[in-house]
Amino acid sequence: MKKEKLYFRIGEVSQILGVKPHVIRYWEQEFNLRPKRGAGMQRRYTRDEVERLKTIRRLLYEEGFTIAGAKRKLRELSRERGRKELLRELVEELKEIRALLD
């Protein structure tokens, strides 16, 4: 993916993922993805949305998950990311407290 690009059209995402556009539209429904719409109501996917679609593709095509299993795994990964972010924030706060005490 190009670093400078902010949004990707469905055709571009289709090429990146190696799946047909109708598959991406189906995944949007199943995984509650809501890409923004641009002029002419074309879907515009952010870099994060493309990464999420890559994860969905990997889970379904490479790891053999069912749709239901992939949904559970995505929720699990999301909780894990949330915990990691919380720990990072706590570590930063503790560093700030330590600096104040020193």
pLDDT, one tens digit per residue, over 43-91 is 999 999 999 999 999 999 999 999 999 999 999 999 988 888 888 999 9
DSSP string across the chain: --SS--EE-HHHHHHHHTS-HHHHHHHHHHTT---EE-GGG-EEEEHHHHHHHHHHHIIIIIS---HHHHHHHHHHHHHHHHHHHHHHHHHHHHHHHHHHH-
Q: Phi/psi at 36 (nearest 5 deg)?
A: -65, 160
Q: Phi/psi at 37 (nearest 5 deg)?
A: -110, 135
Looking at residue 50, its pLDDT comes to 97
**52, two tokens:** 């999420």
pTM: 0.78
Q: CA angle 81-74-85, nearest 5°?
A: 5
- Mean pLDDT in the chain? 92
Residue 2 clears pLDDT 80, i.e. is over it: no
As a CATH number, domain 7-101 is: 1.10.1660.10
Residue 10 CA from chain centroid, whole number: 15
